[in-house]
Amino acid sequence: MSRNDEVASLFEEFADLLEAQDVAYKPNSYRRAAENISEYPQPIEEVAAEGAEALEEIDGVGDAISSKILEYFETGEIEELEKARAALPVDMAGLTRVEGVGPKTVGTLYEELGVETLDDLESAAREGKIQEVKGFGKKTEENILENIPFARESRERSLLGDARPVADDLLEYLRGRDSVVEADVAGSIRRWRETVGDIDVLVAAEEPEPVVAAFTDWGGVTGVIESGTKKAAIRSDGERVDLRVVVPDEYGAALQYFTGSKEHNVTLRNRAIARDLKMNEYGVFDVSEVDDPDAGQRVGERVAGKTEEEMYEVLDLAWMPPELREDTGEVDAAARGELPDLVTTDGVRGDLHTHTDWSDGRATLEEMLAGATERGYDYHAVTDHATGPGMVGGVGLSDEELEEQASVVADVADGFEIEVFHGVEANIDADGGLSVGEGLLDELDVVVASPHAALDQGREEATARLVEAVEHPAVDILGHPTGRLLNRRKGMELDYERIAEAAASAGTALEVNANPHRLDLSGAGVRAAVDAGAPVVVNTDAHSVGEFDYVRYGVHTARRGWAEASDVLNTWGVDEVRAFLDD
């Protein structure tokens, strides 16, 4: 397991601390370096072992940053970062989770009020001290106070995109141990929820002690929390990982039970009880001849438990994909033999929302097309940002620049076999209008319309705004509809059913933005789209070639919404997609 994210997080923290102290230029340089280190295909520790010259091959890593990386691997710390922490001893990560509180706000509130933690921030807001600070006001103080609970809650859960790579690396390691018969994740991470608490890992083994020893000796361990004979817990890359070892004969029962959800399991247990069966983490037991079924966990004749499939089969049910196990009708559907044939990552044939360095992307047009071709995609859409609300730093393209880009895209596309669509990500203003001229919209192959500003609108106003955009004749895709950033901002509350009905009628696709910071639409939004007959599209919103890998998070989110391949636009063939975009 590489240490790229570990090193990247140091430079992200460094950037925040320097920005909070009004240091110019360096914060942006450190953030750029952090992004590129995180995405670099080679483990940063291996690059560092080759010396400064090798490190400086990473885009954005120059002499100053490479020396800091070498210092970190040699000494375990970066002296300049430690000085910045001492100068501003605040919980930067926790404080900046509060929507509207950035590094500069943190610096100001520390200097003026001594705010170091979320508790300090909440106390200052409740006592009315923040509104007395120059540049702040009562409304700002009220917003901070209102957003603190969300910040606290989000801090307790990790993004799926942060936790899943840790879990994948650990599973690969464990499955290679001779003592391990089977291994998988359980809990919310197996159900692919957008955020998770702990990473739960379940292992089947005849002898648990060697498994626990291997688990705590894994190279990704940054700390051992506890270690017993059948259970253990570690820290890895900021994530808590809990291990449970069971005997192979009870593995299926344990995997089903610990995957959950709780509500799904309650419905299954009630179904078991109605059949004189007892269902738990050890198996399914026939208790029809037992006087006291509650006398123990393993009373009665055991009739299932070695595999998950037989746990469901004994209840006259088909096995259910973990993404569906939320007690939203999946048990009844399984009983009727009507479970959906869910979309798979292998079924995705292209990406219809990506960016290049023409706007805020970190790769050239040629690099993005080469990356899409290498993935085996049939088609690819270039949809750089247009100017408009929410586009800070001048990253959006004007109509004239989009017209210029269209010519360039056409020329570059001739060098690739992949079908290339040229489009735009237009901004939806507060009233549902778009930030691109009507004439140009008609000329583009694909128009993604997304909200980036005015995200504090109420449910009715926000819904009406998006319906207006969905019904625009030039709009093909409604991008990341709520505008949320997981663990950072809630995004808009929407009437998904109303938007889905409008999209179905207008022939507009609703996006599942696969970036793990968004996953927007959520599973609930996808379910509304599927029920209404509105097409869904899983896009990565990739700003670099490496972000094409986000597609799996989007697909599993679509699966949580019961989406089949036929529901998902970018599983269709190129002729079908072109016809949809032209319609």
DSSP for 184-236 reads EEEHHHHTT-SEESSEEEEEE-S-HHHHHHHHHH-TT-SEEEEE-SSEEEEEE
φ, ψ for residue 166, nearest 5 deg? -60, -45
Rounded to two decimals, the pTM is 0.83
Q: Of 155, 185, 207, at which residue does a domain stop? A: 155
Looking at the structure, tell me whether residues 305 and 397 fall in a common domain.
no
Residue for token pair 């047009």: 365
Q: What local confidence, expressed as pLDDT, does residue 394 receive?
A: 59
**Each residue's pLDDT tens digit in the chain (583 positions)?**
568 888 988 999 999 999 999 888 889 899 989 988 987 878 899 999 999 999 999 989 999 999 999 999 999 999 999 999 999 999 998 898 888 899 999 999 999 999 999 999 999 999 999 999 999 999 999 989 988 987 887 677 899 999 999 999 999 999 999 999 999 999 999 999 999 989 999 999 999 999 999 999 999 998 899 999 999 999 898 789 999 999 999 999 999 999 999 999 999 999 999 999 999 999 999 999 998 988 888 999 999 999 999 999 999 999 999 999 999 999 999 999 999 999 999 999 999 999 999 999 989 999 999 999 999 999 999 999 998 765 555 579 999 999 999 999 999 999 999 999 999 999 999 999 999 999 999 999 999 999 999 998 999 999 999 999 999 999 999 999 999 999 888 899 999 999 999 999 999 999 999 999 999 999 999 999 999 999 999 999 999 999 999 999 999 999 999 999 999 999 999 999 999 999 8
In a domain, residue 254? The reply is no
User: Which token pair is 99?
Assistant: 């929507």
Q: What is the CATH number of the domain that holds 526?
A: 3.20.20.140
Q: Of 155, 189, 207, at which residue does a domain stop? A: 155
In a domain, residue 405? The reply is yes
Q: What local confidence, expressed as pLDDT, does residue 573 receive?
A: 97
Looking at the structure, tell me whether residues 197 and 102 fall in a common domain.
no
Looking at the structure, tell me whether residues 229 and 274 fall in a common domain.
no
Looking at the structure, tell me whether residues 413 and 495 fall in a common domain.
yes
Q: What is the CATH number of the domain that holds 119?
A: 1.10.150.110
Q: What local confidence, expressed as pLDDT, does residue 407 receive?
A: 97
User: Which token pair is 357?
Assistant: 């360095």
From the list 267, 257, 270, the residue with the least C-alpha distance to 327 is: 267
Secondary structure, 3-state, 445-512: CEEEEECCCCCCCCHHHHHHHHHHHHCCCCCCEECCCCCCECCCECCCCCCHHHHHHHHHHHCCEEEE
In a domain, residue 255? The reply is no
Q: What local confidence, expressed as pLDDT, does residue 279 receive?
A: 97
* Contact (CB, 8 A) for 199 and 185: yes
Q: What is the CATH number of the domain that holds 310?
A: 3.30.210.10
Domain tally for the chain? 4
In a domain, residue 252? The reply is no
User: Which token pair is 388?
Assistant: 């408009």
Looking at the structure, tell me whether residues 382 and 234 fall in a common domain.
no
From the list 518, 527, 509, 524, the residue with the least C-alpha distance to 568 is: 509
Looking at the structure, tell me whether residues 547 and 463 fall in a common domain.
yes
Looking at the structure, tell me whether residues 385 and 479 fall in a common domain.
yes
In a domain, residue 111? The reply is yes
Q: What is the CATH number of the domain that holds 176?
A: 3.30.460.10
Pairing of strands 223-227, 231-236: antiparallel
Q: What local confidence, expressed as pLDDT, does residue 153 receive?
A: 74
From the list 503, 541, 544, the residue with the least C-alpha distance to 525 is: 503
Residue for token pair 């929507």: 99
Residue for token pair 């140091």: 10
Instruction: Count other Cβ atoms within 10 Å, centred on residue 12.
Output: 21
Write out the residue range of the structural domain in which residue 301 sits.
Answer: 260-336
What residue type is 213 in one-letter code? A
Q: What is the CA radius of gyration of the chain?
A: 26
- Burial per residue of 134-158, b for 16 or more beta-carbon CB atoms within 10 angstroms, e otherwise: eebeeebbebbbebbebbeebeebb
Please, which contacts does 215-219 make with residues 24 or more away whose CB atoms are closer than 8 Å? 215/174, 215/243, 218/170, 218/173, 218/174, 219/1, 219/173
In a domain, residue 253? The reply is no
Looking at the structure, tell me whether residues 420 and 501 fall in a common domain.
yes
How many helices (H) and strands (E) would you count in the chain?
A: 25, 17
Looking at the structure, tell me whether residues 415 and 536 fall in a common domain.
yes
Q: Of 314, 336, 358, at which residue does a domain stop? A: 336
φ, ψ for residue 522, nearest 5 deg? -85, 175
From the list 288, 281, 287, 286, the residue with the least C-alpha distance to 305 is: 281
In sequence order, which residues have a C-beta less than 8 Å from that of residue 421 and are 6 or more positions away? 352, 379, 380, 381, 382, 445, 446, 581
In a domain, residue 251? The reply is no
Q: What local confidence, expressed as pLDDT, does residue 489 receive?
A: 85
Looking at the structure, tell me whether residues 526 and 410 fall in a common domain.
yes
CA 347 to chain centroid, in Å, comes to 20
Looking at the structure, tell me whether residues 198 and 142 fall in a common domain.
no
Looking at the structure, tell me whether residues 280 and 365 fall in a common domain.
no
